[in-house]
Amino acid sequence: MANHKSALKRIRRNETARIRNKYQHKTTRNAVKKLRETEDKAEAQKLYVEVTSMLDKLSKRNIIHSNKAANLKSKLAKHVNAL
C-alpha cells in the first residue's frame, strides 16, 4: 500500500481517469457499431460526423492510437459513401 499522501491521491486520480476513459471508449465503440449497421444514407452521414469527432477526441487524449482512429474513420467513410 502507498505510504505518501501524493501516492494515495495518484491512485484515486488514476482510477477516476480509468473509469472515464473506459466509458468514453465503450460509447465510441457503440456509436461505430450503430453507424456500421445503418442503411439510411442521410442518417449515416449525420452519424459519421459525430463518430469522427468522438474518435478524434479519443486519439487526442491517447485513449486510442491516432493511426487506429484514422483507420476507423477511413473505413467508416467508405461505408457511408457506398450507401
Q: 13-46, pLDDT tens digit by residue?
A: 999 999 999 999 999 999 999 999 999 999 999 9
Q: At 2, is the pLDDT very low, low, confident or very high (cuts 50, 70, 90)?
A: confident
Tell whether 6 is covered by a domain: no
Beta carbons of 44 and 58 less than 8 angstroms apart: no
Residue 46 belongs to what domain range? 40-83
Q: At 60, is the pLDDT very low, low, confident or very high (cuts 50, 70, 90)?
A: very high
Please count the structural domains in the chain.
Answer: 1
Q: pTM of the full predicted structure? A: 0.84
What number is the average pLDDT over the span 50-63? 96
pLDDT of residue 3: 82
Beta carbons of 83 and 42 less than 8 angstroms apart: no
Residue 56: closest CA among 19, 80, 24: 24
Tell whether 64 is covered by a domain: yes
Tell whether 4 is covered by a domain: no
Tell whether 21 is covered by a domain: no
Tell whether 71 is covered by a domain: yes
pLDDT of residue 20: 96
